[in-house]
Structures are given as C-alpha cells and as structure tokens.
Amino acid sequence: MRGFWRAIAILLVGAVLGTGFGVALGFFFYPFVFPPPPAMEQLTEADRAAAVEAAPVTRPDAPPAVAMTPPPATIPGPAPASPAPAAPRAVAAPVATGTFIHADPSDPVHWGRGRVSVYERVVFLETDFEVGPGPAFRVLLVPKAGIRRSADVKDEMYVDLGSLRAFKGSQRYAIPAGVDLSKFPSVVIWCERFSVLISPADLKAAPAR
C-alpha cells in the first residue's frame, strides 16, 4: 500500500514539474511563433523641434508704466496692428546616432541591425531596426562604450527605457527627465529574463548644424 501512494506522489510531482516546464517553454517560444507585427511609430513634432521663445525685453532705466484713464469720447483711429506671429520652431538634429550590430557572430540567436537616433527627449529606433525574437526584451541607455558581452551591462547603472514593443520597425522611447545623454554612449537591446545581451549600438555625437 505504501508503494502505491509513493507511486501516486511521484506521478503528481512529475505532472506538476512537467506542467511548469511546459509553461516555461511556452513563454520562451511564444515570441518566436507569434511575433508582434512590425512597428511603424513616428517622431512627434515635440521630439523633432526646439521651441524658440522670445522673452519680452525691458530697459533697466525705463520708467514704470502708469495706468491712464481713457477719455469719455475717443476719435476713431487706425485699426490695431495684428499680433506678431509666433516664433518659429527650429528643427532639432539628433544628439547622437548609432547602428545596432551582431556582437557575437558565433551566436545565431542574439543579433540586431538597423539605425538608432537619440534626441534630447527620445531614443528613436529607425525603420530599418530589427532584432532576433525572444522574451522580455528591454531598451537600455548604458554608460559604457564598446559593449560586446552581457557582462559589460550587468554591473552598469543603466537607464531602462521600457519593453521593446516590436522586433522590427521604427519605435520611440521617452528619455526620463534629468538624464545627461553625454554620459550614455550606448543603446542596448537586453533580454531581462535571462540577462543576455541581444544587440548593442555605439553612439556617436551627431555633427552640429
């Protein structure tokens, strides 16, 4: 009788372990079997433009303004001038640009390609961006240049911009306020679940216009 219950216990444990293993495999292979559609996001006007605001100029020696009471009757005069047009918005060039690479050619699974542009407010993956599919990918700004191995990322205080929304196509990721972009020479696609480097991009400062 004891052997019977032992056999039942072994079968139950095996079923639980088998189910857990199957679920884990399902999460791993799901992005390969059912990848999200290619992204087609675009930069917004705020991403690409820098407001040119004209502040009022005040002479330091100018006398204070005095309120005048209008007379009871006024003489018709010329129509008031139209308000001055709003100051133009200057198109902002990227702060830096780069290209994703296949860091380890001997690894057929973890790879990437395509361009990335970094603006003051966003990281923009261009239309030719693509990575090999996988689970739980993140977009990171990393304060280290020349990243080629997973170990190059693990010990760094990177900025996590969020989950990668598609394995292919243009995508924009907001940069948190206060981030000094000059201290982040790399954009990295990172597998959070397995702590594995997918593809790095070395950033180069864009030429000034």
pLDDT in tens, 29-52: 555 577 789 999 999 988 977 433
Both tokens assigned to 171: 């995508």
CA distance 81 to 174: 41
Residue 109: inside a domain: yes
Residue 114: inside a domain: yes
The mean pLDDT value for 164-188 works out to 97
pLDDT > 90? residue 56: no
Taking a C-beta distance cutoff of 8 angstroms, is the pair 97, 115 a contact?
yes
pLDDT score for 118? 98
Q: How confident is the model at residue 137 (pLDDT cuts 50, 70, 90)?
A: very high
Domain coverage including residue 116: 35-41+93-205
Residue 146: inside a domain: yes
Q: Which residues contact 189 (CB under 8 A, 6 or more apart)?
A: 100, 112, 131, 137, 138, 139, 140, 164, 198, 199, 200
The mean pLDDT value for 130-145 works out to 97
Residue 155: inside a domain: yes
**Angle (nearest 5°) at CA 48 between 44 and 50:** 120
- Total domains in the chain come to 1
Residue 161: inside a domain: yes
E strand or H helix at 27: helix 2-33
Average pLDDT of every residue of the chain: 80
pLDDT score for 146? 97
pLDDT score for 60? 39
Residue 84: inside a domain: no
pLDDT score for 74? 54
